[in-house]
Structure 1
Amino acid sequence: MTVVEDRPAPPAAPPPRRSNPVLALLRNSWRQLTSMRTALVLLFLLAVAAIPGSVLPQRKVSPERVATYFRQHPDLAPVVDRLGGFDVYASAWFAAVYLLLFTSLIGCVLPRLVDQVRSLWTPPPSAPRRLGRLPQHMPGTPRPGAPAEVAADVAAVLRRRRFRTRAAVDDAGTWIVSAEKGYLKETGNLLFHVALLAVLVGVGFGSWYGWHGNRLLVQGADTGFCNAVTQYDESSLGPRVQPADLPRFCLNLTRFQATFQPTGQPKSFMATVDVTEDGGPVHRRRFTVNDPLRLHHANVHLLGQGYAPILRFTDRYGVSQTKVVPFLPTDGMLTSEGAAKFPDVNIDPATNKRNPDLQVGFEGVYLPTVSADGSPRSAYPQERSPALFLTAYRGDLGVDLGNPESVYALNRAQIASGQLTNVSGARPRKLTPGDTWTLDDGSTLQFLGTRPFVTLAVRYDPTQALVLGGAVAGLIGLMLSLAGHRRRVWFRISPPAPDADERGGSLVEAGGLPRTDYPGFGEEFAELVHAAVAAEAAADDGRAP
């Protein structure tokens, strides 16, 4: 009879633990984002994303060029504007690449920085069991002296060549001298990435706490400028900056000198201004294109120049108004376009009321040097034979509508609707300095001359020093990274065999391993072996070989 023992069944294996797919996705995404390959791709994308900022005109730098681009490309310009092409560095897509690169660099640098600090405090590793398998190897070579003395001599030679060394002895009396060199390569690599982080932080905080503005400043005591948001032609304040935070200073352009090559290329610009800071005394300062005017919490940069015609208009009732009207350059020879608007003219003295249909505007081109062939382009940027070509319009200028419009051109909608009509004829009227133009209603326009003007960019960036320091540190780190070579060498010093020569001595075996691509490591290894093992080196009393 067979007895079947009733044994309990073995416990069932626990089911495999299923990981959270969301956490796994986040973990894998973080690993991909913080990989060096992703950081390089993002750095390349940031460089590519910055190309439109150098090709297309930017509003924060030159709003007049942006306006010119809109006139020259009326269909393409709105599309580019919607994509942020005229304000690249403030666009959402550029900020996305910027923040991803910043996050990726932090994830890459911090673990490597910890490993580098740990490796600097960790002694070189012991020699591998078989030195003969290393790329560089020297078989056992006899050398006079006890193993401890030879190990001390070898370590001294390596230290003189700036190797980090460690000497240890095993139970059999064999000394191992381990040496390593080339930590500057990884240090330079980390310095480059930390410097890049500093640049990114500087640019980010500079955009938060910095501000800038552009101003067209005409020469003359009556056309001064004080640092206020309302007095800028275009301005942008950082999110952390309020209009009341702007420093207090005033500028008055007293003189502007420009010289040109015979070809018309600019040679030198020099602006002279009277400066008042915080209500203090007036100081006369000069600055050029490459040498900005440095004030307290502001730098004033000279960007360009032009001419502002001085026009005196006398209406039908004999009332005169004089305006200094800047004309914007359209080419390198300072062919300039602009408009002069006189909305407050032809006021009936009997009723003291203004007829909006009797407003007057002039639009045209100013040529510093009229071409001999009669072309509508200036032949030279300096005023050699200046002339002003104007077309007169009378009617409603549209300034009372409350809509923003350019001060450098008349309202085209008013002209198209017939509310502003041409009263000067089919061809523009040519005026030279001193000429007077009498219109059909007896009103006159006198061209008195011109004043120079300059285009200024006033900027403040509190992290400018950080960005400069980061750029310099990045360059140093890149040079160290390219010049450094990581390598390790080992020397095994063992007692001779019992049947060796009675004179005693030691057997020295060496091996070398380059940690990076280093074509010259073979020659360096041979020099180290010769200095550490040669008999004459043993007799060298501490003198470097």
Structure 2
Amino acid sequence: MTATLGAATDSAGAPTPPSSAPSGPVLGVGGWLRWGWRTLTSMRTALLLLLLLAVVAVPGSVLPQRSSAPDEVATWIEDHGRLGELVDRLGGFNVYSSPWFAAVYLLLFTSLIGCVVPRTRVHWNALRSQPPATPRRLERLPVHRSFTVEQPPEQVLQSARGVLRGFRVQAYDRSLSAEKGYAKESANLLFHVALLLLLVTVAVGQLVGYTANKVVVEGGSFVNADGQYDSIRHGARFDGADLDPFKVTLDRLGVRYQEDGPRLGEPRSFDARVTWNDEDATGTASVAPNHPLEVDGTKVFLTGNGYAPVFRVTDSTGAVVYEGPQPFLPRDSNMTSLGAVKAPSAAGGGLAFSGFFLPTAAVDDVVGPHSTYPDLVEPKVFLNAYRGSEDGRKAGSVFTLDTDGLERIEDGDQPWLAQLGVGESAELPDGLGTIELVDVIRFANFQVSDTTGNGPTLAAAVLALVGLMGSLLLRRRRVWVRATAGEDGRTVVEVAGLGKGDADGLVTEVDRIADELRTPAASPPDTDRPTGQERT
């Protein structure tokens, strides 16, 4: 029995393990930190983080956000129950201010800085350097052309300088080395620097800016002040005392819907006629989606609309305890709207009503009450009634009623239900009071935001686009021209090129140079000796 040559064996002939197994170098803390930094600052990581930032921003466009539509957020949570609460805890309704979005944002920022700084240094050194020396064997390059001419080598090289327009040219022994396309790397760096500026301007805008929302009924108004808004979101450096003082009044909200055809009921136009005034001027304006009102650098957007039924509520003493419009929140394309009316000062501990409003009401035995058209054709409101008032210690919504602790009012053994058209009223059982639908007007939801950082953000975005287009369209090329005296007294000219990508474009470039260096005195076609990649 023979053992494998060079292997140690025991008495039974089995191989024995080596006394010490080979091991790799130990990185240590410093090594792992260097590895992590190099990985983070690589271009591949930057691109992955940019893609990840786009992915984590998707929920912000799919889910309603508190910064722009707080009422829709409340409705979404109510409709989806525990799922809505889970999404809320995960920051799904505040995507752009969530910790996980900020983490990706900061990692991308750090990665871009780590990419741009060393690349800028390398690019600067490359701009100051000379084109590389001419290779000894030009025929080994991807594109190569060779031909003979009558002119002496010195004259060919002199002509080549004129032919190589747009190139940086360096003379070497009997040859010229030329290169161009450094603008491609410059454009690439411009894109990354602009992307950094874009991140900075967005961050600064979020830090000092604010976004507020206000529901305003026709004839109502609001003032640009911190305490005037239904909700406001602002950065850590925001100071409410710095808000530009102005007032906006909603004079009329015009909404037009498709009246016939297969697209019946689809919205066609929204137009909020407003009057505004600040310390220096007063004016009127039309606010529509994508056409905001701008006052002193602050923009007022129209982001939503709905109906606000006007109610009059009396209690058991006959006193009017509530009178005015109450916005109802739209829930579908036909403007079926939910809402609540609260009269906590009514005798007996308060009265409250909840229900839904239908602009064009229809009732059938299959789906029950529903709206068939979003405009005011046959408006009706359906209400339940409760005794008591909401717990003031809880944060409530004007659109919903928290029935915990409230007593439902019943008519006999059935819950009391009122169906009211405009001008109609209903009495509560046991003389508890009455409720009347006086009128129906519209409301608009305005979003007010500071636009101070929009200018720099737009400039950075334009620079990024310019840099991206330049990095995609420009090509980096190197071309060499060599002219040597041949044995027959003619001059052998070689033209070769090397480039990154765009092989067809490189062939065209080399062919152009070769054609311009040929003269009428050049050798006939059968003496041309192309090598390497042939012309196609």
TM-score bracket, shorter-length normalisation? 0.7 to 0.9
Does structure 2 retain, via aligned residues, the 8 Å contact 1:209–1:461?
no
Distance in structure 2 (CA, Å) of the matches to 1:536 and 1:165:
26
Q: What's the secondary structure of 2:396's corresponding residue?
A: coil
Counterpart for residue 429 of structure 1: 418
Distance in structure 2 (CA, Å) of the matches to 1:421 and 1:230:
36
- 1:145 paired to 2:146: no
- 1:443 paired to 2:409: no
Range 115-124 or range 208-217, more displaced: 115-124
1:285 CA drift (Å)? 1.3
- Letter of the 1:468 partner, please give it: L
- Letter of the 2:164 partner, please give it: L
Does structure 2 retain, via aligned residues, the 8 Å contact 1:43–1:101?
yes
Query: Of the candidates 373, 382, 387, which is equivalent to residue 389 of structure 1?
Result: 382
Counterpart for residue 529 of structure 2: none
Query: Of the candidates 329, 338, 354, which is equivalent to residue 363 of structure 1?
Result: 354
- Letter of the 1:256 partner, please give it: L
Distance in structure 2 (CA, Å) of the matches to 1:452 and 1:78:
31
Q: What's the secondary structure of 1:512's corresponding residue?
A: strand
1:459 CA drift (Å)? 0.8
Counterpart for residue 403 of structure 2: 412
Q: What's the secondary structure of 1:519's corresponding residue?
A: helix
Counterpart for residue 532 of structure 2: none
Does structure 2 retain, via aligned residues, the 8 Å contact 1:370–1:379?
yes
Distance in structure 1 (CA, Å) of the matches to 2:420 and 2:237:
50
Counterpart for residue 337 of structure 2: 336
Does structure 2 retain, via aligned residues, the 8 Å contact 1:370–1:377?
yes
Q: What's the secondary structure of 2:44's corresponding residue?
A: helix
Counterpart for residue 21 of structure 2: none
Counterpart for residue 513 of structure 1: 498
Distance in structure 1 (CA, Å) of the matches to 2:186 and 2:270:
45
Q: Deviations over 1:185-234 (max 9, x none)?
A: 322322222222122112111110111101111111xx310112221111
Does structure 2 retain, via aligned residues, the 8 Å contact 1:305–1:455?
yes
Query: Of the candidates 128, 133, 144, which is equivalent to residue 140 of structure 2?
Result: 133
Does structure 1 retain, via aligned residues, the 8 Å contact 2:149–2:522?
no
Distance change (3 Å), C-alpha of 1:144 and 1:58: same
Does structure 2 retain, via aligned residues, the 8 Å contact 1:369–1:381?
yes
- 1:302 paired to 2:302: yes
Distance in structure 2 (CA, Å) of the matches to 1:520 and 1:484:
11
- 1:91 paired to 2:82: no
Distance in structure 2 (CA, Å) of the matches to 1:311 and 1:389:
13
Counterpart for residue 492 of structure 1: 482
Distance change (3 Å), C-alpha of 1:31 and 1:444: same
Q: What's the secondary structure of 1:413's corresponding residue?
A: coil
- 1:106 paired to 2:92: no
Counterpart for residue 157 of structure 1: 163
Counterpart for residue 292 of structure 2: 292
Counterpart for residue 74 of structure 1: 81
- Letter of the 2:501 partner, please give it: T
- 1:54 paired to 2:61: yes
Scaled by the length of structure 2, what TM-score is found? Answer: 0.86
- Letter of the 1:215 partner, please give it: K
Counterpart for residue 22 of structure 2: none
Counterpart for residue 542 of structure 1: none
1:101 CA drift (Å)? 0.7
Query: Of the candidates 243, 248, 251, which is equivalent to residue 251 of structure 1?
Result: 248
Q: What's the secondary structure of 2:398's corresponding residue?
A: coil
1:120 CA drift (Å)? 2.5
- 1:234 paired to 2:231: yes
- 1:458 paired to 2:462: no
1:437 CA drift (Å)? 1.7
1:534 CA drift (Å)? 3.3
Distance in structure 2 (CA, Å) of the matches to 1:240 and 1:286:
32
Scaled by the length of structure 1, what TM-score is found? Answer: 0.85
Range 455-464 or range 177-186, more displaced: 177-186
Pairwise mapping of residues 312-351 of structure 1 onto structure 2 (< 5 A)? 312-320=312-320, 321-346=322-347
1:22 CA drift (Å)? 2.3
Distance in structure 2 (CA, Å) of the matches to 1:404 and 1:36:
48
Distance in structure 1 (CA, Å) of the matches to 2:224 and 2:390:
30
Distance in structure 2 (CA, Å) of the matches to 1:313 and 1:69:
30
Does structure 2 retain, via aligned residues, the 8 Å contact 1:155–1:167?
no
Distance change (3 Å), C-alpha of 1:537 and 1:250: farther
Distance change (3 Å), C-alpha of 1:534 and 1:112: farther
Q: What's the secondary structure of 2:29's corresponding residue?
A: helix
Distance change (3 Å), C-alpha of 1:151 and 1:32: same
Q: What's the secondary structure of 1:402's corresponding residue?
A: coil
Does structure 2 retain, via aligned residues, the 8 Å contact 1:50–1:89?
yes
Aligned length: 490
1:337 CA drift (Å)? 0.8
Q: What's the secondary structure of 1:431's corresponding residue?
A: strand
Distance in structure 2 (CA, Å) of the matches to 1:282 and 1:334:
34
Counterpart for residue 11 of structure 1: none
- Letter of the 1:474 partner, please give it: A
Range 71-80 or range 182-191, more displaced: 182-191
- Letter of the 1:37 partner, please give it: R
Counterpart for residue 131 of structure 2: 124
Distance change (3 Å), C-alpha of 1:293 and 1:422: farther
Q: What's the secondary structure of 1:403's corresponding residue?
A: coil
1:442 CA drift (Å)? 6.4
1:386 CA drift (Å)? 0.7
Does structure 1 retain, via aligned residues, the 8 Å contact 2:495–2:513?
no
User: What's the C-alpha RMSD, in Å, of the aligned pairs?
Assistant: 2.2
Counterpart for residue 274 of structure 2: 273
Distance in structure 1 (CA, Å) of the matches to 2:513 and 2:130:
20
Does structure 2 retain, via aligned residues, the 8 Å contact 1:487–1:516?
no
Distance change (3 Å), C-alpha of 1:413 and 1:536: farther
- Letter of the 2:303 partner, please give it: L
Does structure 1 retain, via aligned residues, the 8 Å contact 2:425–2:435?
yes
1:154 CA drift (Å)? 0.8
Counterpart for residue 522 of structure 1: 507
Range 464-473 or range 73-82, more displaced: 464-473
Q: Deviations over 1:362-405 (max 9, x none)?
A: 211111111264732211111011111112222x2135x43222
Q: What's the secondary structure of 2:55's corresponding residue?
A: helix
Distance in structure 1 (CA, Å) of the matches to 2:447 and 2:85:
25
